[in-house]
Structures are given as structure tokens and as C-alpha cells.
Amino acid sequence: MTVPALGSVDATAVELRPGRRLRSARLGTARYFLRRLGFYAVAAALAVTLNFLIPRLMPGDPASALIAQMQQKQTLSGDQVHAIYRLFGTPGEPLWDQYVTYLNQVLHFNFGISVAYYPTPVWEVIRTGLPWTVGLVGLTSVLSFVLGTAAGVVSGSRVGSRFDSFMTPASMFMGSLPFFWVALILVLVFGVQLSWLPTSGGYDGDMLPGFNGPFLASVLQHGILPALTMVMASVGGWLVGMRNMMVTTVSEDYVLLARAKGLSKARVMFQYAARNAVLPSVAGFALTIGTVVSGQLLVEIVFAYPGVGYLLYQAVSSVDYPLMQALFLIVSLSVLAANFIADSVYGLIDPRARETRS
Amino acid sequence: MSASVHRKHSLRRLKLPPNPKVRIGIAIFVFFALLALLGPFVVQNVMGLSPSDVDTAQAMELPSAEHLLGTTATGEDVFAQLVVGSRISLLVGLVAGVITTTLSVLVGVAGGYLGGRADSFLTAATNVCLVIPGMPLLIIVASYVQGRGGWLTVALVIGLTAWPWGARQKRAQTLSLRHRDFVSAAEMTGESRWGVITRELIPSLAPIISVSFLGAVVGSMFADAGLSFMGLGNINITSWGSMLYWAQNAGALTRGAWWWFVPPGACIALIGVAAGLINFGIDEISNPRLRKPSKEVRARARAARLHAAAGGSAAKATAGKPAPVQEAAS
């Protein structure tokens, strides 16, 4: 997955509607949020529907494959067989009826029983993985955004400086590497060769999870390498995007004026230039969430980190269709929710965004 | 990327730009293309190596003269696998890249040019597809497909899920071309809308399309490697992704067998870097301010600063500083 050059893509995304009367600001804000909410509702509906259609459109018969798989472990009762067929669509039942049944199940978080973790319900399995992934994604994406953007400000305010000539190529290089391979290298260097850090799991296996010092320390220790991978892979994109916007902004008249007023360099750099240059990056933040989550799924597999990515891996390797289906749905909906939040924040800080078409 | 792509210059612009970053990037691509085309022949027929000959007596060996990159847990030659595997990895990237680019051009250019309801619909579709995370979708579809159809299916699935980014970008570029004179002129001469799109707009967008095609190829190779790494896709055909899968499966990591999983990942990474270089170089071409100022300019700026410092005037010091601006004006 390539990290797109943020500056170049999103600068063009802002199209002002000419010849349109400015409505009162508050009304505009409300309309903006409603429009975004509508958009994400459509996206969520598509995700739910895709999740319904994919197993039914696929060649072959996943239900039979699943039954064969499960019968290796235990004999299935007629009820269980019936439940599996219902999950993938009862043959003969109209598609619409199946869809209604499916929606009803989704609304009640009823995703069936997991094969890989038999007989735990799928939702129970997912619930154990969700906090790990959300924690890691949230922490690392905010961290790399802040670090990358700050470095981009410094880099972009003086193109060709020593900092810039090192950081820009370096971060561009880092950003062009596949996430999961970087993870493999880190495991090799810090885990196997130097044995400084643990290379798998989310905490020490002989510990009981709970809110106490040793456990949290263990969680932190196990999180360092996965977090480092995520930050290394995504910090460069923010740096380059911010740098490129910054370069354009520092030559604007208001920055020149601020400088002429004799304000300190740091103040001009951060309060005048960076404040405006950061807007495309913030707008782009929402769109990168999906990419980051996608990358993290693979990174979790390398580290056997107990999040949804590792669960997905387990589900794939044991042909656990119910778990797989539900994971896709949950990941998609979480990404959409995160997108909506990021979009709303952007709408709050940039009034112009509220006047644009979605 | 600059919007000022004039039609007359579009073909000339496709020539190799003088930017060193772009040239290095293209050189890396050419190298791997040649490797995929000729490499397997050289390795198998000239050097007599096999990527699949199992030899348990020589398992997990360090790189040596006999095995340039060592051997796997079952004694296969890693170097032979690397060279032979390049073909499938590149092929998946190429086919998926073609599908992605075709779809994104069709959706993006049509939306941007037609405007109105068609555009609203296409833009909404693009944005919705953009926010649904690609990798989980790929994983789900690939695991139902279960290797049926081999690499072609994987390429198809990647291509069908990766188009929205490009479509968005091409729509924005088309919007900036829509009201140019050459488009109006073509419309006046009675060119159909389809004709305007294929004969006027798409050629004008050629430089952007070719760059985003490279990006799509690399993105697809990353996705393919990720899928294979999970054991989905083509793990029984030698490719860089399947090498990573088998290495991970045999515990190459914990056994410190770096020669097994570092080379295939490094090849993928190198191609990623090449795409990054080209992207970055193109940005520099279209926005000269992003370039590091030339030695001459920097020397002049330093002289000006020294001069100002000697004069003791703060105002002069700031005025002499932004040298890149002068360069941009040229």
C-alpha cells in the first residue's frame, strides 16, 4: 500500500463553491456534520452489505467447507449444521429474506460460534482482540502524526538545511518499505540478535491480565516493537506532506509580514506558517486510518500481537469463516467511525471545509 | 503534481526527466523488469540452479559460493527462488496495476469531465470505496477464493479493490483541464464526449497516469506479498511473498536465518523506494521550491547573509534568506 503524497492530493480536494451565499456559520456546521454522517452511513451500509454478499457470491460452497472443517473436531448436531447454512444463506430462501435475517443478527452482535476458538461465540473472541488493536492504532497514528508533522515544519521552513537533507530522504525511504517486512527486521535485530525486547504476544504469558504495575509494564514492553514499526512506517508520509505544504506557505505574504514585525523564528514558523500548512495533513488523517489499520493487521501477525489482525490470521489459517466475516465487519465499521471523528475534527478547525461538497 | 500539463507537451514530458531521483527510480524498475524477464532463464539454464530442488542434507545453510544466498529449511537455493520468484511478483503487480489504473482513469476522468449527476454519483462511489479498508476486504475475498485461479485471481482482486485513490486524484486533475481551450475546441468540432475523454483528456493526463500506474504496481506488489505472507494466494508458486510465508512458517526469524527472509523483502522494499523516488522527483519537477537549492544559489544566499550580518541590519538578513523563491520564478 503506497502512502500517497498528502500535500498534492488533498490540496486539490478543497473545491469552493463559487457564487454561493454564505449561510450563517452555525447552520453551515450542522449541515456539514449531517452531510458527513449521511456519507458514513452509506459507507457503513455498503460494508455491511458487502459482508453479506461476499460469501454468497463466491464460487464453491463455504458452508460445506466449514462443516467439513468442524466435523474434524467434533460431531455436529443437526442444529449446528442448520446454523451454519443460515450463516451463508439457506439454499432456496430468497436473498432478501436472508438479508433481513442477517441484519437482525448483526444488530444483536450475533455472529455465530468461532471454529478456531470453539465453542466461544465470535463476538466474545473479537472483544478480546479489539482493545489491543484500538490502543496500538490510536497511539501510534497520533504519535507519528505529531512527530512527522513537527519534523515537517522544521524541514519545510528551510529547504536544503542539514536537518532537511537528512530527514526528507530518510523518511521517504522508510515510508516506501512494506510495514510487515520492517517488523520482521526489527524482530531479527532487537528480539533475536540482541534479545533486548520480547518479540511476540501482548504481555508475558505467565502473568494474569489486570490493572497492576507489573502487568502494565509487561504490556508496554511487548508494545514497543509493534509500535516502533507502525511509527517508522508512517511518520515519513506526514513529514513529507507537511514539508511540501510548508514550503508553499512560508513564502506567503502574511508570513513575510510576521517576520518583518520581528516576531521570533519559532513563533513565525509554528503560529503563522504551520497553522495553515497543517490543514491538508489534518484532512488527510481520516483517509490514512484505513491504510494504517490494514498495515497493522500484518504487523500484528509478525509479532503474534493479540489484536484483531492476529485473530484474522488465526481465522484464515483455520478456515474460520464466521470469525473472518465478523472481523471484516468490525474492522470496517471501526475504521469508518474513526474516519467520521477525524473528519469532524477537521470540520471544526477549518471553516472552509464546511462549505465544500463531500 | 502540477495542473499545468499542456497537451502539446504531454508527449515530450513522457521523456526521461533530468531529475536524478526520477532517473534512479526508473533505473531500479528497469533492473527488476530485466531480472524478471531474463533472470529465471539465466539462473535455471545457464547457472543450473533450481528454486525447488529439496536437499535436506544442505538445509538452513549460510550464504556461500555454492548457495549465493544460502538455503531454506528444506535445502532449496534462496538465490534461485529470489530470481525465479521475481517473475510472479512483478506479474501480479503489473496485471493488478493495469486493472487499478484503467478503473481509476475511467471513473476519475469521466466524473471530472461529465460533471453534474454522473460526477456526483461517481465521486460518492469513489469516496465510499476509499474509506472501506482495503486489506481486510482483500483477505476475506482471497480466503474464499482459496488459491483458485492462482496469481491471476489475486491480481484481479487487488486491482478491483485499489482503484479509489487514483480515481480521486484523476478527477481533480480532469477538473483543472475541463475548461481549457483545447477541450472546448474539440467540443466545437463535434467530438463526442467519449472522444474528448479518450482523444483529448487521457493523453493530456498521460504523465500523471504513468506515475500513478507505477504507484499502483508497487501497491499491488505490497498487497500480494502481504496476502502470500498470510498464506493466502499463491504460496505453492515461488514468489517473494510465498518465500516470506515459508520463512515465517519454518521459524526462520527465531532461528536467525536472515538470508531467507531479508532478500525477498529487500527486493519488494527496493521497488517501493524506486516508486518513492519517482513520486518525490515528479513533485520536485512540478514545484521547484521543494528542490534543494543549487550550490550556486546557496553560495549566493550565504554571501548575502554574511553581507547583511556585517551591515548589522536584521531586515536585510531576512530579505536575503529565501533564495528558493528566486529560483521558482525562473
B244:A184 CB<8 A = yes
Please check the confidence at residue A15 and state whether its pLDDT lies above 80: no
Residue B140 φ/ψ, nearest 5 degrees: -60, -55
Residue B71 φ/ψ, nearest 5 degrees: -130, 165
**Residues A226-248, buried b or exposed e (16+ Cβ, 10 A)?**
bbbbbbbbbbbbbbbbbbbbbbb
pLDDT value at residue B99: 92
Between residues 206 and 225 of chain B, which touch chain A (CB distance below 8 Å)? 215, 218-219, 222-223, 225
Side-chain half-sphere CA neighbours of B145 within 13 A: 23
- pTM, rounded to two decimals: 0.78
What number is the average pLDDT over the span B26-41?
A: 86
Please check the confidence at residue B98 and state whether its pLDDT lies above 90: yes
Residue B284 C-alpha cell reads as 520536485
Nearest alpha-carbon partner for B127 in B141, B107, B110: B107
What is d(CA B186, CA B169) in angstroms, rounded to the nearest whole number?
Answer: 24
Confidence of residue A357 (pLDDT cuts 50, 70, 90): very low
Please give the mean pLDDT across all residues of chain B.
Answer: 77
CB contact set of A119 (below 8 Å; sequence gap of 6+): A113
pLDDT value at residue A60: 60
What number is the average pLDDT over the span B86-111?
A: 89
CB contact set of B324 (below 8 Å; sequence gap of 6+): A159, A160, A247, B288, B289, B291, B293, B297
Instruction: Identify the top-confidence range among A8-12, B83-87, B188-192.
Output: B83-87
What number is the average pLDDT over the span A138-144?
A: 90
Instruction: Give B6 or A122, the one with higher predicted confidence.
Output: A122
**In sequence order, what are the beta bridge partners of B71?**
B77
What number is the average pLDDT over the span A312-338?
A: 85
Please check the confidence at residue B330 and state whether its pLDDT lies above 80: no
What is d(CA B214, CA B30) in angstroms, rounded to the nearest whole number?
Answer: 12
Print the SS3 string covering B70-122: CECCCCCEHHHHHHHHHHHHHHHHHHHHHHHHHHHHHHHHHHHHHCHHHHHHH
Q: Lowest-confidence range among A37-51, A93-107, A118-132, A342-356?
A: A342-356
Please check the confidence at residue A87 and state whether its pLDDT lies above 70: no
What is d(CA A21, CA A8) in angstroms, rounded to the nearest whole number?
Answer: 29
CB contact set of A72 (below 8 Å; sequence gap of 6+): none
Q: Lowest-confidence range among A35-39, A224-228, B231-235?
A: B231-235
pLDDT value at residue B328: 39
One-letter amino acid at B158 equals I
User: Which residue of A172, A180, A293 is in closest CB contact with B280?
Assistant: A172
**CA-nearest residue of chain B to A358?**
B124
Please check the confidence at residue A9 and state whether its pLDDT lies above 60: no
Residue B14 C-alpha cell reads as 513522457
pLDDT digits (tens, 9 = 90+) for B278-290: 887 887 777 777 7
Question: What residues in B contact A299, CB-CB < 8 Å?
Answer: none
pLDDT value at residue A12: 40
B135:A295 CB<8 A = yes
User: Which residue of B143, B215, B265 is in closest CB contact with A178?
Assistant: B265
What is d(CA B143, CA B228) in angstroms, rounded to the nearest whole number?
Answer: 11
**Residues B142-171, buried b or exposed e (16+ Cβ, 10 A)?**
bbbbbbeeebebbbbbbbbbbbbbbbbbbb
Q: Cα A91 to the chain's mean position, in Å?
A: 36
Q: What is the DSSP string of A209-226?
A: -SSSHHHHHHHHHHHHHH
Q: Lowest-confidence range among A87-96, A234-243, B178-187, B217-226?
A: A87-96
pLDDT value at residue A269: 83
What is d(CA A153, CA A349) in angstroms, rounded to the nearest whole number?
Answer: 19
Q: B65 and B79 in contact (C-beta within 8 Å)?
A: no
pLDDT digits (tens, 9 = 90+) for A164-219: 888 888 888 887 888 888 888 888 888 777 878 777 777 776 766 677 777 777 77
Residue B42 sits at the vertex; the CA angle it makes with B39 and B43, to the nearest 5 degrees, is 85
